[in-house]
Amino acid sequence: MGGDCAIRVRLLRGVEDSLPAYQTEGSAGMDLKADVDAEIVIPPMGRAMIPTGIALSMPPGVEGQVRPRSGLAIRHGVTCLNAPGTIDSDYRGEVCVILANFGEEPFSVRRGDRVAQIVFSGTLRARLEVVPELEGTPRGEGGFGHTGR
């Protein structure tokens, strides 16, 4: 499954080191790196917007999903707010990551730190149809936890 798709990248501060990269052959996401001039310290229960130094141009029907890195979450309690964050195909501004520190210690972000990952995915454009009734399913209108699993 899968395939490849050309994504155009603009280096906003001309730093090639800020390019996202896959870490292994089987990685689904490319690591996003901090492009900051000075260290940013996120206090416990604090949050900060971290610039990546890149802007993207994706073809219509493709989105970028900004997701947390599991290592930061388990080791430091640091995750992305608004995850996954969606980068729309027509957005041309800088990709930024909203990091939140749920850990007990301040968390420092420095230039080049891998702060999140981006997964590129295809999207559908929905056409909504108003109907008087919806077709039935075995689950019906059962809410959260209704399936018993």
Structure-token pair, residue 21? 């990269």
**Strand 114-122 to strand 94-101: parallel, antiparallel, or no bridges (unpaired)?**
unpaired
Which pLDDT value is given to residue 95? 97
Per-residue pLDDT of the chain (149 residues; tens, 9 = 90+): 667 889 999 999 887 888 999 999 999 999 999 999 999 999 999 999 999 999 999 999 999 999 999 999 999 999 999 899 999 999 999 999 999 999 999 999 999 999 999 999 999 999 999 999 999 888 777 777 666 55
Q: Is residue 90 assigned to a domain? A: yes
Which pLDDT value is given to residue 147? 62
**Strand 47-57 to strand 8-11: parallel, antiparallel, or no bridges (unpaired)?**
antiparallel
**pTM listed for this prediction:** 0.87
Q: Is residue 133 assigned to a domain? A: no
Tally of domains within the chain: 1
Question: What is the residue range of 57's domain?
Answer: 8-122
Burial of 54 per CB tally in 10 Å (0-12, 13-18, 19+)? buried
CATH of the domain at 16: 2.70.40.10
Which pLDDT value is given to residue 17? 83
Q: In what order do the strands lie in the sheet with 8-11?
A: 8-11, 47-57, 94-101, 78-80
Which pLDDT value is given to residue 129? 97
Ramachandran area for residue 148 (φ above 0: left; ψ -120 to 50: alpha; else beta) = left
CA-wise closest residue to 65 among 122, 7, 9: 122
Which pLDDT value is given to residue 1? 60
Question: What is the rounded CA–CA span in Å between residue 21 and residue 37?
Answer: 21
Q: Is residue 148 assigned to a domain? A: no
DSSP letter for 132, please: S
- Cβ–Cβ < 8 Å for 109, 39: yes
Which pLDDT value is given to residue 14? 82
